[in-house]
Amino acid sequence: MYDFEIERPGSVADAVKALGQEEAQALSGGQTLIPTLKARLAMPSVLVSLAGIDEMKGVEMRDGALWIGGGTTHATVMREAADAYPGLASLAARIGDPAVRNRGTIGGSLANNDPSACYPAAVLASGATVQTDRREIAADDYFDGMFATALEEGEIVTGVRFPIPQAAHYEKFIQPASRFPLVAAFVARFEGGVRVAITGASNDGVFRWSEAEAALNDRFAAGALDGLTLDGGDMISDLHGSGAYRAHLCGVMTRRAVQAIG
Amino acid sequence: MTQVKMTVNGKAASGEVEGRTLLVHFLRDDLELTGTHVGCDTSQCGACVVHVNGNAVKACTMFAVEADGAEVETIEGQAAEDGTLNTIQQAFQDHHGLQCGFCTPGMVMSAAALLKDNPKPSEAEVRHYLDGNICRCTGYHNIVKAIMAASGQDVSALAAE
């Protein structure tokens, strides 16, 4: 790693100020950023640790929605969201491994927006709202392609507000070495309609599969998806699987998620 | 350089570290607690698992500065002062839960974290919990068996695979 200083502000306001420095970079759980720094793929002069900011931690019901602080670890979401939003808690319980879940945070995952990350699928399928130090961003406006988001320079994800669906399920086809999904589908059924988000598949990162949503709104059954296909030409193609294979998996994962909801 | 202070295995520890100093390097190089191993250095293998404030973490993927003020437990703190192994360590010995021993510190620390949350895990739960700990010798079977035995469960029915 190149050398850098670490600052540890105790409030969002101080963190925003610290991030205003030249070549400053926010550090949350570090489970992606630290390996990135080791590979010398980033060269910040200052890391601003968000771990000591209590106002960014917690899982609680607020006005009928589930609020999760941006600095909340996957392990905490796994435990504390289990009653309010079991589909989301189940997703958190399957990220990485136990030691990674004790460090990695939802805010870090969303700010990074890895095209194969788990949380973006839940946020998009739930129609959640991403809260930052300066505004609120609807999930449909937040994700902006591979490793790209609507966040501005130095903007911090302070929390996420999840509307709670009637039922939801995250179906993950795991890539066992990385523990990321090769492809995963999050299906959320609300009174107003079904939302389907796919991660791990597209070159543009997480996306809503609108044809599947329309079919499931007509009839909520795995069979409603028969005949629906996605174009493998737009999908990630690598040594783990071709674009066509990933396109196929999108259908399989979505059908299994629908079956799990019942 | 930054001054850090933490409690390691119940004793006060402190030192001067760079921002980029990983917790595992502070433990090994500054405190000379070399039981915590660096296997892959890419957060895959789990040989570096320690407990920070009671939670299992990969010490190769956390900065020493981030552990300032924390309670850290490493493999060196597991046995009694006179060298008597704790229940998990003894079970690893009794059930041949290691061969070369490189992954063992991380396995024992992960097992300790599991049994704290889940005192009687099923075999499937043990295997799932060890997702982040890689062993290249044993094929895991005896490690799982040792952890089941350490939890006080009968392992005589666990056939070798």
Find the CATH number of the domain harbouring A10.
3.30.43.10
A138/A100 same-domain check? yes
Query: Rounded to 5 degrees, what are φ and ψ at B53?
Result: 50, 40
In one-letter notation, the amino acid at residue B67 is A
Whether B131 and A97 lie within 8 Å, measured CB to CB? yes
Cα separation, B38 vs B78, in Å, equals: 19
Residues in chain B closer than 8 A to A51 (CB atoms): 66
Whether A35 and B63 lie within 8 Å, measured CB to CB? no
A67/A132 same-domain check? yes
**Total number of domains constituting chain A:** 3
pTM beyond 0.80: yes
Domain that holds residue A152: 55-162
Residues in chain B closer than 8 A to A108 (CB atoms): none
A124/A182 same-domain check? no
Whether B57 and A103 lie within 8 Å, measured CB to CB? yes
What tens-digit pLDDT sequence spans chain A (262 residues)?
999 999 999 999 999 999 999 999 999 999 999 999 999 999 999 999 999 999 999 999 999 999 999 999 999 999 999 999 999 999 999 999 999 999 999 999 999 999 999 999 999 999 999 999 999 999 999 999 999 999 999 999 999 999 999 999 999 999 988 899 999 999 999 999 999 999 999 999 999 999 999 999 999 999 999 999 999 998 999 999 999 999 999 999 999 999 999 8
Give percent of chain B with pLDDT exceeding 90: 93
- Asked if this assembly's ipTM is beyond 0.90, the reply is yes
Q: Are B90 and B108 in contact (CB under 8 A)?
A: no
A30/A71 same-domain check? no
Cα A125 to chain centroid distance, Å, stands at: 10
Determine whether B68 is exposed, middle or buried from the number of CB atoms within 10 Å of its CB (0-12, 13-18, 19+): middle
A171/A257 same-domain check? yes
Cα separation, A4 vs B126, in Å, equals: 39
Give the closest of A1, A51, A102 to B56, CB-based: A102
A176/A157 same-domain check? no
- Residue B159: the pLDDT is 64
Query: How far does A261 lie from chain B, in Å, by closest CA?
Result: 23
Q: In the A/B pair of chains, how many CB contacts fall below 8 A?
A: 73
CATH of residue A116's domain is 3.30.465.10
Q: Last residue of a domain, which of A162, A182, A199?
A: A162
Residues in chain B closer than 8 A to A179 (CB atoms): 131-132
